[in-house]
Amino acid sequence: MTTALSALRPMVARRIPFEAFYSSTTTSAGTVDSLVDTSLKNYPDGFWDDGFVRLDGGTYTTVVKRVKSHAQSTGVIAPLASWAGAPGSAVAYSLYNPYSPDQIDQAIKDAVREAYPSLCRRIEYKDFVLGSRLLNGSFEDWTASNADNWTKGSNVEDTQETTIVWHGASSCKLVATGAATYYQSISATIATLLEDCGVTFYAWVWADTASIIRLYITDGDGTTYGDYHTGSSRWELLSVTRTVNNTMTRVGFQMSGAETCYVDDAHTEGGPSLYEYGLSSTFANERVEVDMQDDATLPEGPYTPIHPSRYDIITLTAGTKVLRFKELRTSGYHLRVRGMAYLETLTTDASTVLIDEPETGLLVEQAIALLLRRRPEGQTTMDEATRMQWMQITEGRIAQLKRERAFPQTRTARGSSW
């Protein structure tokens, strides 16, 4: 479950000590200097003076104005500064006093960081294959409708498949209308490393027709092809090996005719040992856990933990992180890297964090604690002793929630929990 900033704001506003909050819709069209709602006649004259009005709908949604005056007799709110246009009828709005909605929003955004690591995302990657030089060999990453880092030759289309899958959350569905190739180009840097090396390209392939799809490796001297899939309507591990005597240019799949096939978990072995694997910058360095697959033919494990003394998590320039092993690990096996990251950044009303009750309760209390440390905008009337008392109460609630609730919230990078 997710919770949007637009939902968190009223949660916080309703629980802030001393805060008056009301949300409704206008009952008739106002002017650039008035908002009209007959329900505001339930509040005494001047109740919302010096507070804040936020338009939550209509043409000028999200606009916040300081309240100049509130008239009970007419149910009219007059802003201190005019709107660019008149709020219409049936337009959603909300009122705040003394904390402004912008202050509340900022406190919620800051609370996302303050509550870490009690509130965090648990992220998980199982896409690394030890020793492999390929990018997105797991076919988990797609931009628009194409698999990242892979290239379509003529007569073939690729789509992300989530039902017929060997490993992870998705595979690549290839639909050919004739003889076709689907491949990944090898960068000049990797090609230099693999010169004069024996390289094996592996991939799991599903096909229901024999002799329709096979793997290949191409370098400056030519191409080597592997054996065809048997057409068993099952996943089969295909491979091809070539000694690269000239610059390696690509690895890929060759389809010999019109057919639909599925490919997944593509990886390479061979060349200099690989000790480093790039991590997302969202990974926090603390509490990273690294496991290694016990059996390469069992995509979902079991996995065996690698002791933290065997690797380092290193932050490079611009926040880039790498997992660096201190010793060579066996090639061909998947790694599972699990760690923590901050909750999602809230930038707009529609922005969401992947939490629901009871986790939202902690985030709300954390935001209130931050607000109580900060004076309302332009206000100096709050009694200091009472404010300090409420701060202590709120901090106590936060401590209790952290003890009682099953934090942190868990989530993988692909959407399931662990």
The DSSP secondary structure of 324-342, one letter per residue, reads: EESS---TTPBEEEEEEEP
Q: How far apart are CA 118 and CA 405, in angstroms?
A: 10
Model confidence at 380, pLDDT cuts 50, 70, 90, reads low
- Distances from the Cα of 120 to the Cαs of 5, 112, 374, 411, in angstroms? 16, 8, 25, 9
> Which single residue is written with the structure tokens 């005494």?
44
Instruction: For residue 36, give the nearest of 71, 76, 69 by alpha carbon.
Output: 76
Model confidence at 408, pLDDT cuts 50, 70, 90, reads very low
Mean confidence (pLDDT) of the chain: 90
Average pLDDT score over residue span 368-377: 86
Give whichever of 102-106, 275-279, 396-400 has the largest mean pLDDT: 102-106
- Over the stretch 351-368, which tens digit does the pLDDT of each residue have? 999 888 888 999 999 999
DSSP for 273-306 reads ---EEEE-TT--STT-EEEEES-TT-TT--EEEP
CATH of 122-341, one of 2.60.120.260, 1.10.760.10, 3.40.50.720, 1.10.3720.10: 2.60.120.260
Close Cβ partners of 376 (under 8 Å, ≥ 6 residues apart): 98, 99, 100, 103, 382
What was the pLDDT predicted at 409?
A: 44
What is the pTM (predicted TM-score) of this model?
Answer: 0.71
Locate 191 and state its tokens: 């090609």
- Distances from the Cα of 163 to the Cαs of 97, 160, 170, 300, 334, in angstroms? 52, 10, 7, 15, 21
Locate 71 and state its tokens: 């008239």
Q: H-type helices in 79-211, by residue range?
A: 101-114, 188-194
Cα diameter, the chain? 90
pLDDT > 90? residue 91: yes
Instruction: For residue 51, give the nearest of 92, 31, 79, 84 by alpha carbon.
Output: 79
Question: Which region among 2-16, 20-34, 119-133, 161-175 has the lowest average model confidence (pLDDT)?
Answer: 119-133
Model confidence at 300, pLDDT cuts 50, 70, 90, reads confident
Environment class of 44 (CB within 10 Å of its CB; exposed 0-12, middle 13-18, buried 19+) = exposed
pLDDT > 50? residue 416: no
Percent of the chain with pLDDT over 90: 70
Model confidence at 382, pLDDT cuts 50, 70, 90, reads low
355 vs 24, more confident: 24
